[in-house]
Structure 1
């Protein structure tokens, strides 16, 4: 018998090596190489037999011209949660593979159990748990008051048993919680290793593509917050979403990172209650839960998440530094962008904070990724530095360039309409975003330079 070949693959970037080493030469990460077993090359007869059985996505693909492909709308169906449907691009697509991750206790299993219990009344659904017993799942369903008469439950970690149950019951929805504990007897490594996760995920994805089953895999996350396991896992699936939320907060944010059937910048907001996760229909209201007493260093900005605007409160604190190197701390913002904006504030705004500690925070645990928050952040910093209280009916948005210009942002009209709907009376926006027709109930102040914006607010 030929000796089995092995290779060492990096868990972070997927690079492979012939022998183990401490550091990956591609991504420079330490202690990320794991051993995998390489199967023997298949013969021509074996390849013919495999081709006869069909390809990865079903039957053997035929060669055809691009213009001859029939464009049929994807038959989506709702998950029962509008916020989840929004992140998925409009609903669940038959034959799709979805990977959901999140920190322990974020509510991944609760969200999926709620979804499947309600969908099982009209569609066949199978929930495979590998980390909890059936009694634990049943107790959670009773505590949440979920309809449990139609959902099929299975406690199993062997991939062959899971595949057999799926082929027998033919569910329209299949949830595997979680992919890190599923193992195959044909792979010698331990459950959760690179080879086990890759092979089991490939088998389940192939099953979903061939049978039209909606496959939902639950994945663990590392201490850095990224999905654990080989990077190839994220390439196999069609949609990757993360359920985020602090342990001391009752709100959970569902964010898409990859979606082959829709946009990846959508955001879903949930609230964790004693009866499970509940949708937040008006997320701007929870992010604007402001204190009754106005304080310096606080302003409101309008960010665009997916297809809707969100009003978010931003806080800044500027204080004398007792250190030789003043601190720059940003929670919810990019750290490097904060340092860049402080340099622009000094050069083009004439305000020096080089000897001050600067702290910036986005209220509610939201992560602001777009540049429309630049102007609001600088105005909050100057407000804290000068101990000036800003008007509570003021809203600000705009990108700040390195030369001090205020650059326009997308969907300016919709942002102003959202601010007016929540009772804001004054808005400072880039001149290019100034509406041609006045927005009812709100005064728009267009600006082109940073010094103009600071003068309009603080002078």
Structure 2
């Protein structure tokens, strides 16, 4: 028989190792490893069990996939991210910053599914049933098929599932539910792992879709062990700025659909509303000709959205001119300023304060917005307004070239659909040519305005 060996176990997550370490290899906690005594090594192979019935292995073409088809939730933007709807037996994890609107969104999903005739069980471990009822009354999420429970014990939650027999289960949140079979407080890695694995096992056995709310840490990652993201089928992230009402849902992992779709929502006084066409959210409402503005076409997932970039140039006598940006990368703005001065012939940019911002609070992170930023700065520097029907997109290199960007055809089609007749893109060749093309278009626009006035 093999000699017994001592093991060390983490008191937080239950990770085991044969030697002592100062830091747990699973939850990365310090000082949690303790010796658990001698454990005899395994000396025999487990007895094989022959599966029977539906559990037997079959050719993949003979497996029936009709029961796992997407079923719409009633919210088109949420279904877009999920790949067409909620799949039976799927485990979906929705994470986001505190107060961004996760509970409001899932309560709306529960109400829409319940209104379609399917029974829904909403388990809230963070709020009382009266608090959720009050919010549901304010948002209009009341339905006789929507059942509500306020419970933080996993065994009691499973009892509610047996009693209600729902067709959709929502747990808010997985970090606040505890199991008596695991040590530790709710939210600790061992508890999160036990609760999530149990709920997912119930989902697979009963073909019951489960929506889980997940907390995030200070750096924005999902709280709990990394195993949580591996266990679930879909991981969605709910993003939004508290200063604006716009919210985005992105799929970070999706076993049943694409991961490059984005759902757009807007927080209102009556709850959350989907925004099927967010094209006008990032454009200014003023139609007056103002210098220093240019529209670009940005990609959010598979969506092409027009975003207006604004620039302001002010003379200064300070020894160090200011560079203030909002919604764009400061490093790319500094690079674009250097290229404009060196390659496009815009002198004295080092003697003025430059302010660059986007409309609507959107953040542009892709290099396709470089050309629009350059045109906006050049327009502000020369004090000549760019026409309203002009859009620009393209990446600018240090050599002054306009490089092609991804999905250029889709960007151009979306711009033309919205009425932008003049497109400044990679066909310009260089940033100098692109700026001159935009300035010539502004001259033509001004001439048309004068002709219309007289």
Q: Same fold (TM over 0.5)?
A: yes
Match of 1:421 in 2: 417
2:408 corresponds to: 412
Does 2:271 align with 1:284? no
Q: Could you tell me how far apart the structure 2 residues matched to 1:184 and 1:144 are?
A: 32
Q: Equivalent residue of 1:199, what SS?
A: helix
Does the C-alpha gap of structure 1 residues 337 and 42 become closer, same or farther in structure 2, counting only changes over 3 Å? farther
Match of 1:97 among 70, 91, 94: 91
> Does 2:236 match 1:255?
no
Q: In the alignment, is the contact (CA less than 8 A) between 1:8 and 1:20 conserved in 2? A: no
The correspondence for 1:129, drawn from 100, 107, 124, is: 124
Q: What residue in structure 1 maps to residue 432 of structure 2?
A: 451
Distance 1:195 1:418 in 2: 48
Measured in 2, the distance between the counterparts of 1:424 and 1:342 equals: 26
Q: Indicate which of 270, 273, 288 corresponds to 2:268.
A: 273
Counterparts of 2:32 and 2:324 in 1: how far apart (Å)?
39
Question: Structure 1's 456 and 143: CA in aligned 2 closer, same or farther, altered over 3 A?
Answer: same
Which secondary structure state, in structure 2, belongs to the residue aligned with residue 137 of structure 1? helix
Rounded to whole Å, the distance in 2 between the matches of 1:388 and 1:218 is 50
Q: Does the aligned pair in 2 maintain the 1:8–1:34 contact within 8 Å?
A: no
Q: CA deviation at 1:75?
A: 0.5
In structure 1, the partner of 2:199 is 204
Deviates more, 1:305-314 or 1:340-349: 340-349
Contact map agreement 1:157 1:183 (CA 8 A) in 2: yes
For residues 35 and 378 of structure 2, what CA distance do their matches in structure 1 show?
Answer: 60
Gaps of 5+ in 1: 11-16, 432-446
Deviation at 1:18, TM superposition (A): 4.9
Aligned equivalent of 1:143: 138
Partner in structure 2 of residue 7 of structure 1: 10
Partners of 2:229 and 2:282 in 1: how far apart?
31
Is 332-341 or 205-214 further displaced after alignment?
332-341
Residue 391 of structure 2 corresponds to 395
2:148 aligned partner = 153
Listed as ranges, the gaps of 5+ residues in structure 2 are 14-18, 441-454
Aligned partners of 2:188 and 2:224 also within 8 Å: yes
- TM-superposed CA distance for 1:9, in Å, is 8.3
Alignment of 1:310-349 (within 5 A): 310-319=305-314, 330-349=325-344
Distance 2:411 2:376 in 1: 19
Q: Summarize deviations over 1:233-270 as a string: whole Å, max 9, x none.
A: 22222222222222232222222222222222222121
Higher mean C-alpha deviation, range 196-205 or range 130-139? 196-205
RMSD after superposition: 3.9
**Cα offset, 1:133, TM superposition:** 0.3
Q: CA deviation at 1:356?
A: 5.4
User: Using the alignment, how far apart are the partners of 1:458 and 1:148 within structure 2?
Assistant: 58
* TM-aligned CA distance change 1:148 to 1:416, over 3 Å: same
2:359 matched to which residue of 1? 363
Number of residue-to-residue matches in the alignment: 428
Retained in 2: the 8 A contact 1:9–1:34?
A: no
SS of corresponding position for 1:249: coil
Cα displacement (A) at 1:392: 1.9
CA separation of 1:302/1:351 partners in 2, compared to 1, >3 Å: closer, same or farther? same
User: Alignment partner of 1:120: what SS?
Assistant: helix
Cα deviation, residue 182, structure 1? 1.2
Distance across 2 between alignment mates of 1:164 and 1:53 = 29
Instruction: Kindly state the Cα deviation for residue 226 of structure 1 after the two structures are TM-superposed.
Output: 3.2
Q: Deviations over 1:31-56 (max 9, x none)?
A: 9659489998997999669x7899xx
Counterpart in the other structure of 2:379: 383
**Residues 64-115 of structure 1: CA distance to partner in whole angstroms, max 9, x if unpaired?**
67x7575846410111111111111111111211111222222211111111
Q: Please give the alpha-carbon distance, in whole angstroms, between the structure 2 residues aligned to 1:401 and 1:228.
A: 39
**C-alpha deviation, 1:129, in angstroms:** 0.4
Question: TM-score with structure 2 length normalisation?
Answer: 0.81
Alignment equivalent of 2:157, drawn from 157, 162, 182: 162
Deviations 1:296-339 (A, max 9, x none): 33211112333332111122344567887766555433444444
